[in-house]
Each structure stands twice: as C-alpha cells, then as structure tokens.
Amino acid sequence: MDTEILKNTQIKEAADFLAKGQLVAFPTETVYGLGADATRPDVVKDVYAAKGRPSDNPLIVHVSGPDMVWEYADNSYKPLAQKLMKAFWPGPLTIIMPIQPGKLSKAVTGGLTTAAFRMPNNKATLDLIKTFGKPIVGPSANTSGKPSPTLAKHVYHDLHGKIAAILDDGPTKLGVESTVIDLSVDVPTILRPGMVDSDDLLKVIDNVNSDHHKVSAGEVPKAPGMKYKHYAPSAQVIIVDDVNDFKQAISEYVAKNVPLGVMATEQILKEVPSGIKTFSLGEDVISASRDLFAGLRQLDSDHVQYILAQGFPDTGHGAAYSNRLNKSAGNAHYKK
C-alpha cells in the first residue's frame, strides 16, 4: 500500500479513508496519532498490527468535543469530568472513566471496564473527527517501543506501506504525549505525566495522586502502556543530571572511541568539542520536551552508539520530560 501524505486541508480525503476502514495518521498538539474508526473492532486490530503493539495496551478514544464522550462514558462521572474538560479541553489531558457496558469493543479498552478520552487541540484533527462523525482511536503513530513521532516524516519512516495516509500539519507544538488522569479511582490519579501537571489540575479539582513511578516485576501497572520498553532509540542514552558533569562525561565517552551524540541546551552545546554529533534542545525544559523525540531519532540516523542527554528536575513540566527521557535511557544516569 502506498502511504499518501495529505495537506492539513484535505480533511474530506482523510475522512474517506477512515470510512473505508483504513488507517490515517493525524496531527495533535502533543505527538502524531494513528487514527482508525473507534467503533470498528476489525480496523482497531489493524492499528495494533501496524504498530506492533501488544494487544493488552488500551487505546485513547479521540473526540471532537465532550458530547461525543457521553455516548460511551458512564454519565455518573459527568460533574467531575466536565470540570476538567472545561479547564483543559481541547488540550493535552486524557481522562479515564468507566464506560457504559458494551459501548466500546475490547479491541479499544484492552478488556478493561474503563476507557481513555481526549479532545486534542489541533484544528485539522478536530475537523477530521467532526467530518467523520465518530471518535477515532489514536495511539502515538510510531512503531511500538520507538520514540513518538513529532513530524509527519517520523510517521512515514515507521509506518509507510502499512497505513493509508498521513495528515501533515507540520511539527507538533508540545512534543510529549498527553497527561493521563484516571477518574475511576477514589482519588483522581495521574498515570502518565504530561504538560498539564498536578499543580494545573489542583486548580480545578481538590485532590490528585501520581502513579507514574517505575513498575517493578510482578506489579500490575494501572496504565498498561507504562510497563513496556518505550521511546528507545538504537543508541544507548545516558542521562547527565548535573550540567557541570557534561565536560567530564564527554571526555569519558570520547575515550571509548565510538560515535557519540550529545543532546542538550544551547548553552551546553557551545562547549562541546567538534567531531561529536549534537542535537539542540533549545533553551529550557519546554523546548527540550518539544524536541526530545526528534533528537533521539536524529541522533539514531547519525548512527551514534551513545547519546549523552541533559536531565531536568523531575518537577512541574519537568515531570513529563524526565519520565520520557528515563524510559528512553532505561534509567541509565551518568555517574562520576
């Protein structure tokens, strides 16, 4: 199958592919998603196949607005959910709620009694869902285990020949996936950190827990996706937590005599000796989050063996960045 690249105005063409039961990658403010008709288990199964994704890992149901949610979700969660939707939708917050029995297939929910809902902040995709008239599932549009795609060309690289089309809307603005919050438990719980952080949430709801710690062997993770190897480039990533350690870290890895990459903010890159592949994370944790996945992919295509990547404190917006970087590094940190 040829994969067509569609312009962000070719909404009708994209919707027609979905209506035919085909897969279309779509832009969001976080990362590109892999879209399919959420009401058809047969095509939802194709999403798992295209990504090589384990089938017990449920998918986010993308909607064009709250009304579409209440056709599927248990309405008793409306008062709480509506507060969050009003404050953060459209935007990078995914809300997990119990669903009305039988309303969504096991292919979408992974057999759970809950489902994840999200209204992305992207005009082309909201138009697409409205034109299509039904919700679309959308995991990140990468091969399972690889960094999430923040450009249409990343999607093409991983999935061309396996999907009908990519709706190209340029680089995504935020670069890390949405915050996932579970409302089906006593205290609303963050299962995956994103750009809506716990301080943002606490302005709207009274209480919130975090549950995005590392899952140890034997423990059943609340968000099934959190147990799999993630965001991993072919190179080994090593996190440099203290910027003052970069100089020493670089000379230690240069001594290994294998291709080295450094991914850091401009200030640090200024000091990197020539001959080393570099990728700029911009100025701060916001630009670093936006460009992290693109950097991992770029340095992979430069065929480096190690990537020294700048760490940021694990608080506020840094929580999302640190969570993704730790996964891509398999928790490897530079030690003097």
List residues binding Mg ion (CB under 5 A). 140
Tokens (6 digits) for 5:
């690249």
Residue 129 sits in the site that holds ligand TXA (CB under 6 A): no
**Residue range at the interface with ligand TXA (CB under 6 A); choices 65-73, 128-136, 216-224, 258-266:** 216-224
Flag whether 321 is marked binding.
no
Find residue 237's DSSP bridge partners.
Answer: 307
Residues 20-49: x where in contact with ligand TXA by CB under 6 A, - otherwise, as a string: --------x-xx-x----------------
Flag whether 324 is marked binding.
no
Query: Can you spell out the DSSP letters for 87-127?
Result: HH-SSSEEEEEEB-TTSS-HHHHTT-SEEEEE--S-HHHHH
**Residue range at the interface with ligand TXA (CB under 6 A); choices 134-142, 159-167, 241-249, 259-267:** 134-142
Flag whether 62 is marked binding.
yes
Residue 193 sits in the site that holds ligand TXA (CB under 6 A): no
Give the one entry of ligand TXA, Mg ion, none that residue 58 binds, where binding means its C-beta sits below a cut-off of 5 to 8 angstroms depending on kind: ligand TXA
Find residue 291's DSSP bridge partners.
Answer: none
Residue 226 sits in the site that holds ligand TXA (CB under 6 A): yes
Tokens (6 digits) for 336:
């003097």
Q: How far, CA to CA in Å, does 320 sit from each of 173, 197, 212, 221, 263?
A: 14, 8, 10, 18, 17
Closer by beta carbon to Mg ion, 140 or else 298? 140
Residue 164 sits in the site that holds ligand TXA (CB under 6 A): no
Closer by beta carbon to ligand TXA, 17 or else 26? 26
273 Rama sector, left if φ>0, alpha if ψ -120 to 50, beta otherwise? beta
Q: What's the rounded Cα separation, in Å, for the pair 69 and 30?
A: 20
Q: What's the rounded Cα separation, in Å, for the pair 174 and 291?
A: 8
Q: What's the rounded Cα separation, in Å, for the pair 182 and 192?
A: 10
Give the one entry of ligand TXA, Mg ion, none that residue 18 binds, where binding means its C-beta sits below a cut-off of 5 to 8 angstroms depending on kind: none
Q: What's the rounded Cα separation, in Å, for the pair 316 and 330?
A: 22
Total residues contacting ligand TXA by CB under 6 A comes to 30
Q: What's the rounded Cα separation, in Å, for the pair 189 and 26?
A: 28
Query: Are the beta carbons of 183 and 80 closer than 8 angstroms?
Result: yes
The correct pick among 91, 120, 188, 295 for binding ligand TXA (CB under 6 A) is 120
Residues forming the site for ligand TXA (CB under 6 A)? 28, 30-31, 33, 57-60, 94, 96, 109, 112, 114-116, 118, 120, 138-140, 177-178, 180, 191-192, 222-226
Q: Tell me the binding residues for ATP.
A: 53, 57, 114, 118, 140, 148, 192, 231
